[in-house]
Structures are given as C-alpha cells and as structure tokens.
C-alpha cells in the first residue's frame, strides 16, 4: 500500500468553492494512481459535505475546514463548520414522495453523505458541526 | 477543474432533449428547470436529460429536477435521464428520482423508450 497523503484546506464561503476541494481530491487520486471511476462517489460526498457545511457555517466564521487523507484503499474526509450546530438525530431522512407538491425540495445532503459513505460520524453542538467520513476506494 | 455549466437543448420527435456539461449546482439546476418550463408551456410533455458531460452535480441542483418530475406527473408526461455517470446515477437513485423518471444508456435509447410511452399514452 502507498503511504497516505493528506490535504488540508480552509474554504471561504464563495460560490462553487467546493470545486477547489474536488480538484484537490482528483490530484491526490492521480498521485496515488487511483482510477477516476473509483472516486466518483467520493466526489459527490465531498461536494455535498462542503455545500452543506458552508450553508450552515453561520455569520461569524463563514468558512469550512476540510481535510482529506487518501490511501490506495480508502479516503477519510473531515469537514468542520463553525455554525450554530443542530441535533442530527432530529433530521428525518428525506422522501421524494413527501417532496413532490411541496415547496421545499431540498434537504438531501446529509442523507446522501450517509448513504454513499462506508462510515459516517457526525458531532454537532452550538460551536459548529464536525463530520468524519470514510469511503473505500477499491 | 470541472468546467463551467453549459446547457443545450433541442426538440426531437416532440421530445425535449436537454444536454448539460459541467457542474450542475443550484444555478445549473435552475437553468435546466427554466429550459424545461419554456418548452412545457408550448406543450412538450416528454423530456430527456442527458447528464453525460456532468460528472459533478449537487443535490441542490438535482432538487430542481423534482419540479420537472412534478409538472410532468401532473400532465401525464415522462422524464428519462441518459448517459449517467455511475456516481450520479447512484445519487439520483438514493434521492428516489427513478421512482418517477426513467434512465437509459443513451439519448437514442431514451427517445425510443419515450416513443413507446407516447404510444402507450394513446
């Protein structure tokens, strides 16, 4: 197994900044010789994680801390925002039947991250939210 | 870096074919919905969305597609996705979009499936 490579960044709240994170992800994968199709789901997870975190990042520190650690076997993703936090257990899984014919068609991010990852942990309090995700790349 | 969002559309056999390239975010999703609405008002009820050149999408962008499904459901229309990247396909599946929309490998396959749906409709 190739040694792990780590990338850390702080992303400000500006449009499409999640693409910078994806560029970093792609570069790590290329460095490790990981085929592009193996990181497709990781791209979606990272996109949702960054978009979600920035949306809830609050007024005082509208930024997101992001860390990837990638090996040829897996990817660890750590995302932290500095918003007011929420109670993760109170968030119901979205249902398309319930979304049809209602105004709010959003709210898929958390469920997508959970469903597409191999391990998902969330910790949230009034100082912000930390999400740790593992995604196998085999 | 993922290319900026672009959209092209054409009407083939009374079906609207929307082809996107680049990142489908909220702006891209809104643009797809606007293009759909423009044709829906003219009576188009069968739609193909080709996402083959969009390997990165987000759920905010995809939530606009639920609006399209909603309008087509109400009017007896049908949406078919084509050329999906496997990860995007999985995302749409998790969101439940394939309960209401079809998926095909290519635009040509999608048009064939919609032609069949049109005959079945009447």
Instruction: Give me the DSSP letters along chain B.
Output: -PPPPEEEEEEETTEEEEEEES-B-HHHHHHHHHHHHHHHTTT--EEEEEEEE---B-HHHHHHHHHHHHHHHHHT-EEEEES--HHHHHHHHHHTGGGTSEEESSHHHHHHHHHHHHHHH-
**Predicted local confidence at residue B102, as pLDDT:** 97
* CATH 3.40.50.300 matches B6-117: no
Enumerate the residues of chain A whose CB falls inside 8 A of the CB of residue B25.
16, 51
Q: HSE-up of A113 (CA within 13 Å, CB side)?
A: 22
Out of A37, A48, A101, closest to residue B70 by CB:
A101
ipTM value greater than 0.85: yes
Q: Which of B6, B87, B3, B84 lies closest to B48 in space, CA to CA?
A: B84
Enumerate the residues of chain A whose CB falls inside 8 A of the CB of residue B55.
40, 43
**Predicted local confidence at residue B98, as pLDDT:** 97
List, for residues A71-93, the tens digit of each pLDDT value: 999 999 999 999 999 999 888 89
Q: A-B interface: how many C-beta pairs under 8 angstroms?
A: 76
- The larger pLDDT score, comparing residue A3 to residue A31, is at A31
**Predicted local confidence at residue A1, as pLDDT:** 55
Count of domains for chain A: 1
Sign of CA dihedral B21, A23, A47, A45: positive
Q: Which of A38-52, A88-102, B68-82 shows the lowest mean pLDDT across its residues?
A: A88-102
**Predicted local confidence at residue A61, as pLDDT:** 79
Enumerate the residues of chain B whose CB falls inside 8 A of the CB of residue A23.
1
User: What strand order describes the sheet that includes A119-125?
Assistant: A5-12, A63-70, A74-81, A128-136, A119-125
Determine, for residues A106 and B95 on separate chains, whether the beta-carbon distance falls below 8 Å. Answer: no
**Predicted local confidence at residue B119, as pLDDT:** 56
Interface test with B, best of A53, A91, A96 (most B CBs within 10 A): A96
State percent of chain A over pLDDT 70: 99
Strands B102-104 and B78-82 turn out to be parallel
Look-up of token digits 């040829």: A72
Mean pLDDT, chain B, as a whole number? Answer: 94
Residue A95 contacts B where some CB pair is shorter than 8 Å = yes
Query: Residue A20 belongs to what domain range?
Result: 5-136
**Predicted local confidence at residue B122, as pLDDT:** 43
Residue A30 contacts B where some CB pair is shorter than 8 Å = no
Determine, for residues A43 and B56 on separate chains, whether the beta-carbon distance falls below 8 Å. Answer: yes
List, for residues B1-31, the tens digit of each pLDDT value: 778 899 999 999 899 999 999 999 999 999 9
pLDDT at B63 over 50: yes
Number of H helices, E strands in chain A: 4, 5
Return the domain boundaries, chain B: 6-117
Question: Global pTM?
Answer: 0.93
**Predicted local confidence at residue A92, as pLDDT:** 87
pLDDT at B76 over 70: yes
Strands B6-12 and A128-136 turn out to be unpaired
CATH number at residue A116: 3.30.565.10
């Amino acid at each position: 197994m190739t040694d792990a490579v780590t990338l850390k960044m702080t992303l400000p709240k500006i449009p499409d900044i999640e693409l910078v994170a994806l560029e970093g992800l792609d570069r790590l994968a290329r460095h490790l010789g990981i085929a592009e199709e193996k990181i497709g789901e990781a791209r979606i997870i990272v996109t949702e994680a960054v978009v979600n975190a920035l949306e809830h990042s609050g007024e005082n520190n509208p930024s997101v801390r992001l860390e990837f650690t990638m090996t040829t076997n897996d990817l660890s993703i750590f995302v932290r925002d500095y918003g007011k936090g929420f109670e993760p257990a109170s968030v119901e899984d979205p249902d398309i039947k319930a979304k049809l014919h209602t105004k709010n068609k959003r709210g898929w991010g958390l469920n997508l991250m959970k469903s597409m990852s191999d391990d998902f942990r969330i910790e949230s309090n009034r100082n912000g939210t930390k999400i740790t995700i593992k995604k196998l790349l085999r | 870096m993922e290319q900026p969002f672009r959209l092209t559309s054409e009407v083939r056999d009374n079906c609207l074919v929307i082809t996107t390239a680049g990142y489908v975010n909220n702006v891209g999703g809104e643009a797809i919905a606007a293009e759909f609405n423009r044709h829906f008002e003219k009576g188009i009820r069968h739609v193909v969305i080709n996402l083959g050149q969009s390997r990165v999408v987000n759920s905010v962008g995809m939530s606009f597609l639920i609006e399209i499904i909603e309008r087509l459901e109400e009017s007896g229309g049908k949406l078919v996705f084509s050329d999906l990247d496997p990860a995007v396909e999985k995302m749409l599946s998790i969101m439940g979009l394939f309960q209401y929309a079809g998926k095909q490998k290519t635009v040509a396959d999608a048009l064939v499936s919609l032609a069949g749906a049109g005959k079945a409709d009447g």
